[in-house]
């Protein structure tokens, strides 16, 4: 779990982890330790989450640990007596070496007083913003919360389009979230992977100003022709954009198009307030995605795990034909015992690479230490058998002996559990044949 704790250590939200069954705290990131006067991770030994975080002598009545499941995320809202603030939370559970860990990510909506104080300067908009935040934070996922915030921004400011752009790889810009008013054509699909030169004038202006306001698009036709050429086809007549910043770095911008005349200053005030919450939710979205990835991916091979397999069965199977390939690494225990687990780990990785190479267009999962499964939708039986033979050859070329079993069903006759059972049985026949012809003692293997 160390890689996960390293990821959270300097994160600008409260993050902690506890044992679901014992309530013992196993991790707090730096911000949480400072807020709750915990000297070090070592000093968490023997401390419970309800005592340390909530000043309770027994598990909290609102505790939802019993309802948490790997890969599932639960949002909440509660008052913390130590912080003396209401906090918004996201909870999930991760399994590691047989232990169940509850991970909570939390933030205080009222944490940054310098941002919140802006509300007092715009008392006429306070009620609208509070309602928008209240409704947005009732949403389950960060993406839903962000979308709700953009919708309310558009409605409060009476604009035609509200949006978020984020910096991606190679300094390119991506329109990641968008809301449009009725009758307005969405543009998000066409505003991906933008060349850095397009938005660079705005990023330069963000270095000295905290917003960009264009009251008449024609005003920039000569001064910034590249920007003009992008905005004009979108029927943009005016706009206000503000930078989104995290840890002193501009990570993108949020904006709204085609505002009513004379409302730009008002819009800047609203966007300034909303930017804080938007950045918070963008961070939470990234963490939720990371947690989701960890919950459904085998960390060693990058293949899906059992949870991913079950989700795939529940959500993605169609009425097409289905082929199942069940694989087992022959001799892995012998390698681990004689050469060490590092050699065994490398063999597992070579097996995974072979499976990815042959079944790259299909859904791949690691079921255990030496078991792999490929689910192949819309495939005919001959092609399935051909790929299974190719996998055997490919694996041998990587010094891996795979016992392979297959099962197939035509469209309309798919029973996944039966296919899994039949392919596993076929795999054991293949394994038995290998030992019979190789002369090796299977018991020693």
Residue 114 dihedral angles phi and psi, to the nearest 5°: -65, -30
Q: For the chain, give the percent of residues with pLDDT over 70.
A: 89
Are the C-beta atoms of residues 119 and 129 closer than 8 Å to each other? yes
Which own/partner contact pairs does 312-318 have at CB distance under 8 Å and 24+ positions apart? Answer: 312/363, 312/365, 312/375, 313/416, 316/363, 317/377, 317/414, 317/416, 318/377, 318/378
> Which of 92-101, 200-209, 400-409 has the least mean pLDDT?
92-101
> Which of 129-143, 301-315, 416-430 has the least mean pLDDT?
129-143
What pLDDT was estimated at residue 137? 67
Distance between CA atoms of residues 36 and 13, nearest Å? 13
Are the C-beta atoms of residues 20 and 69 closer than 8 Å to each other? no
Residue 412 dihedral angles phi and psi, to the nearest 5°: 85, -5
What pLDDT was estimated at residue 243? 96
Please state the rounded mean pLDDT for residues 69-78: 80
> Which of 94-108, 167-181, 393-407, 413-427 has the least mean pLDDT?
94-108
Residue with tokens 């004009």: 232
Please state the rounded mean pLDDT for residues 427-433: 90
Task: Pick the more confident residue, 128 or 336.
Answer: 336
Q: What pTM was estimated for this model as a whole?
A: 0.56
Residue 124 CB neighbours (<10 A): 7
pLDDT tens-digit series, residues 313-366: 888 777 789 999 999 998 888 888 888 888 888 999 999 999 999 999 899 999
pLDDT tens-digit series, residues 236-262: 999 999 999 998 899 999 999 999 888
pLDDT band at 167 (very low <50, low <70, confident <90, very high): very high
What pLDDT was estimated at residue 188? 94
What pLDDT was estimated at residue 318? 77
Strand-by-strand arrangement of the 402-409 sheet: 363-366, 371-377, 322-329, 402-409
Please state the rounded mean pLDDT for residues 195-201: 92
C-alpha to C-alpha distances, 280 to 15, 439, 445, nearest whole angstrom: 14, 62, 53
């Amino acid at each position: 779990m160390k890689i996960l704790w390293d990821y959270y250590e300097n994160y600008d939200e409260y993050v902690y982890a506890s044992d679901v069954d014992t309530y013992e705290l196993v991790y707090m990131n730096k911000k949480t330790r400072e807020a709750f006067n915990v000297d070090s991770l070592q000093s968490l030994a023997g401390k419970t989450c309800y005592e340390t975080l909530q000043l309770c002598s027994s598990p909290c009545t609102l505790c939802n640990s019993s309802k948490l499941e790997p890969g599932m995320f639960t949002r909440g809202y509660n008052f913390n007596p130590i912080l003396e603030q209401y906090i918004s939370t996201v909870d999930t559970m991760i399994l590691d070496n047989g232990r169940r860990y509850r991970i909570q990510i939390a933030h205080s909506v009222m944490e940054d007083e310098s941002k919140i104080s802006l509300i007092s300067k715009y008392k006429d908009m306070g009620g609208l913003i509070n309602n928008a935040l209240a409704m947005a934070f009732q949403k389950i996922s960060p993406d839903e919360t962000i979308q709700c915030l953009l919708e309310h921004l558009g409605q409060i400011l009476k604009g035609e389009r509200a949006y978020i752009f984020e910096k991606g790889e190679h300094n390119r810009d991506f329109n990641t979230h968008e809301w449009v008013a009725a009758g307005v054509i969405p543009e998000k699909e066409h505003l991906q992977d933008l060349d850095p030169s397009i938005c660079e004038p705005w990023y330069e202006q963000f270095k000295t100003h905290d917003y960009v306001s264009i009251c008449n698009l024609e005003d920039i036709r000569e001064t910034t022709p590249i920007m003009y050429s992008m905005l004009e086809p979108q029927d943009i007549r005016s706009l206000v954009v503000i930078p989104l910043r995290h840890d002193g770095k501009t990570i993108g911008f949020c904006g709204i198009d085609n505002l009513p005349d004379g409302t730009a200053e008002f819009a800047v005030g609203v966007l300034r307030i909303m930017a804080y919450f938007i950045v918070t939710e963008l961070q939470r979205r990234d963490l939720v995605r990371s947690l989701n990835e960890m919950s459904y991916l085998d960390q060693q091979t990058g293949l899906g795990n059992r949870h991913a397999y079950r989700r795939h069965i529940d959500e993605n199977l169609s009425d097409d034909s289905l082929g199942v390939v069940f694989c087992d690494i022959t001799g892995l225990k012998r390698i681990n015992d004689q050469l060490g687990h590092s050699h065994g780990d490398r063999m597992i990785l070579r097996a995974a690479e072979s499976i990815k190479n042959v079944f790259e267009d299909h859904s791949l999962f690691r079921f255990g230490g030496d078991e792999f499964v490929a689910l192949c939708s819309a495939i005919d039986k001959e092609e399935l058998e051909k790929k299974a033979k190719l996998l055997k050859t490919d694996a041998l070329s990587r010094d891996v002996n795979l016992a392979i079993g297959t099962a197939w069903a035509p469209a309309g006759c798919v029973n996944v559990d039966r296919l899994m059972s039949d392919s596993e049985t076929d795999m054991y026949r293949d394994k038995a044949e290998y030992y019979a012809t190789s002369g090796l003692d299977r018991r020693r293997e």
